[in-house]
Amino acid sequence: MRFAQIVIFVFFAQTHFLIFVFESEGQLFLKEDLMQVSTLDDIPKEPGWRDSAYRGWEVLSIPGLISTYYDLDLDGKLDYMVTRKIVRKASSEEIDMARAIELAEYDRQAVYFSNPVIYFASKYPLFYCKGLDYRKNCRNIWVDISEDGLNGNEEVYTLGSPMQNTN
């Protein structure tokens, strides 16, 4: 009985040690990835929907956000995304496309058309993401809390320490 307890203890101790080693290695990779994060000068200007790099948009599963996707190097893979806050929605039965564009220009907003919903979003993105993987996860992401366009006040955003960006 004592021997079985020792074997179980050794097994759990080794398992805990392996988990610690893998977590340490993961943190090392995270630090390396953060060191490779591009500078703010590397944030591309959003090309817009008329550009050949435009690949569409979608309402995110996070309520109140909408993302626009681009293939900047035109290699067939998404590599850039901007995310805006949705300000309001309207029914396409209540308002036509021309009126929606007019309202968006007057209110300085972006407009996204879907049937039966028209989305009005902030003119400038909240998040800029460069380096998407096949699941649309970002490698380098910046946040622009003031949503005033690319002007140098954007900050690198990390999920490891998101609270630093809420000042």
pLDDT for position 42: 84
pLDDT computed for residue 18 by the predictor: 39
Pick from 5, 48, 23, 35: nearest CA to 140: 35
Residues 24-45: what's their mean pLDDT?
Answer: 56
Backbone angle region of 160, left / alpha / beta, with phi > 0 → left and psi within -120 to 50 → alpha: alpha
Tokens matching residue 26: 């993961």
Predicted confidence (pLDDT) at residue 157 exceeds the cutoff of 80: yes
* pLDDT given at position 145: 93
Q: How far apart are CA 44 and CA 29, in angstroms?
A: 25
Q: pLDDT at residue 27 above 70?
A: no
Domain borders along the chain are 1-36, 45-165
Band of the pLDDT at 158, cuts 50, 70, 90?
confident
**Cis peptide upstream of residue 116 (ω within 30 degrees of 0):** yes
Average pLDDT value for the chain: 81
Residue 12 is predicted with a pLDDT of: 47
Note the pLDDT tens digit of each residue in 110-147. Answer: 999 998 999 999 999 999 999 999 999 889 999 999 99
Q: What percentage of the chain carries pLDDT values higher than 70?
A: 70
